[in-house]
Structure 1
């Protein structure tokens, strides 16, 4: 699975990092950074949760 992150839309809430720390991080400004592309099999559910929980809708599943 691939995730797309709209860094311009990111509001630095950090829900993605809390949901899937193996997949997401934040830069010095708090903006989302993808750590894994594609998402490892063991992190699929966590990554999907991060997409659902993003308050800015800055994340989306690009491919399954």
Structure 2
């Protein structure tokens, strides 16, 4: 599975980093970015939680 963040939609709330720091981090512009596009098997549930809890729906998991 792969993680994607729509940078135009991201508001930089850092919720995804708090939920799944092994998949998401913040860049120099204060926007979320995937640490890795391929989500490790043991992080899929946390990555999905981050997607579901994003207040603006900026995260997609495919």
CA distance in 2, matches of 1:23, 1:41: 11
Within 5 Å, give how 1:1-40 maps onto structure 2. 1-40=1-40
Give ranges in structure 2 of 5+ residues lacking alignment. none
Say which SS state the counterpart of residue 46 (structure 2) adopts: helix
Using the size of structure 1 for normalisation, the TM-score is 0.90
Give ranges in structure 1 of 5+ residues lacking alignment. none
CA distance in 2, matches of 1:9, 1:41: 26
Q: Which structure's residues are more often strand, by fraction?
A: 1
Using the size of structure 2 for normalisation, the TM-score is 0.92
Aligned residues: 62
Partner of residue 52, structure 1: 52
